[in-house]
Amino acid sequence: MKAKVDPDLCTGCEVCVETCPEVFEMEGDLAVTKVDKVPADAEETCRQAAEECPVEAIIIEE
Ligand code: F3S
């Protein structure tokens, strides 16, 4: 599974970084993914981050 952040949508609220720090980190005002492939043990929190993002900026690819 892969995840990415749409930089045009992200408002930098940091919910994803708090929910799933294994995958997301802040780069300036925006979140980015720091891994190419989501580790198996972070998939659940990664999905949760995608659901919780208020602007739905997180794209999950299975
Ligand atoms: Fe951005 Fe959504 Fe994360 S707004 S900082 S991708 S929770």
Q: What is the pLDDT of residues 1-59, one digit of tens each?
A: 999 999 999 999 999 999 999 999 999 999 999 999 999 999 999 999 999 999 999 99
pLDDT for the residue 48: 98
pLDDT for the residue 37: 97
pLDDT for the residue 52: 98
Number of domains in the chain: 1
Distance 37 CA to ligand 1 centre (A): 18
Q: Please give the number of the atom of ligand 1 that sits closest to the Cα of 15.
A: 7
Six-digit token string for 28: 């300036």
pLDDT for the residue 32: 98
User: Is any ligand 1 atom within 6 A of the Cβ of residue 3?
Assistant: no
pLDDT for the residue 22: 98
Residue 50 lies in domain? 2-61
Q: What is the CATH number of the domain that holds 53?
A: 3.30.70.20
Spell out the residues 6+ positions from residue 56 whose beta carbon is closer than 8 angstroms to its own: 9, 50
User: Is any ligand 1 atom within 6 A of the Cβ of residue 15?
Assistant: yes
Q: Give me the sign of the Cα torsion angle 14, 31, 55, 52.
A: negative
Any idea what the Cα angle at residue 11 is, between residues 61 and 58, rounded to 5°?
10
